[in-house]
Amino acid sequence: MTLLYIVLATFAGGLLSVLVAASLTVGVLTRLVKSLVSLSAGILLGTSLLNVLPEAFESQTAQPQTLFAVLLAGLLFFWLLEKVELYRHVHHHEGDGHHHHHHFDAEQAGRGGLTVLVGDSIHNFCDGAIIAAAFLADTRLGFATALAIVAHEIPQEVGDYIVLLNAGLSRAKALLFNAISGMASVVGGVLGYFLIGSFEGVLPYLLVLASSSFIYISVADLLPQLQQRLAWRETLAQVAWLAVGLGAAFTVSMMLHGAH
């Protein structure tokens, strides 16, 4: 059953993002992404700090100092990956300075969208492995982690879809690229299940690595986008969506640790 959960959870993010992108216009998508970025930041930060990290530190085999060292190494690792453009986060919306900037998007998409495809595939593969590690640690933690990743995956994939469209690709080809990169998550989840399952002792370290990914995405990518000067109503909307995300993670935390 655990493997089935992993496959379904990893498949859900890619499928939902493609369905959302296919069913809405670019104008609606840009407004949707604007709200989802705030929601994602809350869910990712809350899940990492309230659910995944506590689960890792409850391990009897791993030393706290070692786990903190892994957290630090993970943050630096994901920074380096993004620096070489192999771990990209794209969230286009009105006012971000990039939306409808065709030259920028063409440069980001690379030849035929290859840069987007490779970067997203690596990102999604890592997400799949993270989901597998969480399910192997605790089924409930797996669902919480999958929810956090799906919440981030939808604005991520929609942002990439907008980049590909602005680079001159057709809707069909842009959706195909999104679907292909989304399947990397399933591959990462299945491989993670078989590889991680044989080495239970590494689970706490993998959970900390997952947390470093969530924290890095939130602090380096999502929260800076929310720092723009906006009208008070838009600011309140950002805070509200952020609070909803944190509230969802807190509720899951109560369910997880209340049952222990």
Contact 189, 150 (CB under 8 A): no
Contact 67, 57 (CB under 8 A): yes
Specify the pLDDT at position 114.
64
Specify the pLDDT at position 5.
93
Kindly indicate the confidence band of residue 105, based on its pLDDT and cuts at 50, 70 and 90: very low
Q: How far apart are CA 48 and CA 116, in angstroms?
A: 26
Specify the pLDDT at position 102.
44
Higher pLDDT, 96 or 180: 180
Say what percent of the chain tops pLDDT 70. 86
Q: CA Rg, the chain, in Å?
A: 18
- Residues 6+ away with beta carbon under 8 Å from 170: none
- pLDDT for residue 111 is more than 50: no
Among 14-28, 54-68, 158-172, 227-241, the range of highest mean pLDDT: 54-68
- pLDDT for residue 251 is more than 70: yes
- Residues 6+ away with beta carbon under 8 Å from 167: 102, 105, 106, 108, 109, 113
**What is the average per-residue pLDDT within 145-161?**
81
Three-state DSSP state, 55: helix
**What is the average per-residue pLDDT within 97-109?**
45
Q: How far apart are CA 189 and CA 142, in angstroms?
A: 11
- pLDDT for residue 257 is more than 80: no
For 143, the enclosing helix (H) or strand (E) is helix 139-166
Q: How far apart are CA 187 and CA 27, in angstroms?
A: 32
Q: How far apart are CA 29 and CA 99, in angstroms?
A: 11
Q: What is the mean pLDDT of the chain?
A: 81
Q: Nearest CA to 249 among 129, 154, 141, 126? A: 141
Cα first-last separation, the chain: 21
User: What b/e string do you get for 130-168 counting C-beta neighbours within 10 Å, with b at 16 or more?
Assistant: bbbbbbbbbebbbbbbbbbbbbbbbbbbbbbbbbbbbbe
* Lowest-confidence region among 22-31, 82-91, 177-186: 82-91
**What is the average per-residue pLDDT within 112-122?**
69
Q: Copy the structure tokens of residue 252.
A: 């899951």
Specify the pLDDT at position 104.
45
- pLDDT for residue 124 is more than 90: no
Among 55-59, 188-192, 220-224, the range of highest mean pLDDT: 188-192
Kindly indicate the confidence band of residue 101, based on its pLDDT and cuts at 50, 70 and 90: very low
Q: How far apart are CA 195 and CA 61, in angstroms?
A: 19
Q: Copy the structure tokens of residue 209.
A: 């690595």
Kindly indicate the confidence band of residue 109, based on its pLDDT and cuts at 50, 70 and 90: very low
Say what percent of the chain tops pLDDT 90. 30
Express each pLDDT in 50-96 by its tens digit.
999 998 998 878 899 999 999 999 999 988 887 776 555 554 444 44
Say what the pTM is: 0.79
- Residues 6+ away with beta carbon under 8 Å from 31: 93, 94
Higher pLDDT, 63 or 120: 63
Specify the pLDDT at position 204.
92
Q: How far apart are CA 76 and CA 172, in angstroms?
A: 36
Q: How far apart are CA 206 and CA 53, in angstroms?
A: 10
**What is the average per-residue pLDDT within 4-25?**
81
Q: How far apart are CA 103 and CA 109, in angstroms?
A: 10
257 burial level (CB within 10 Å; 0-12, 13-18, 19+): middle
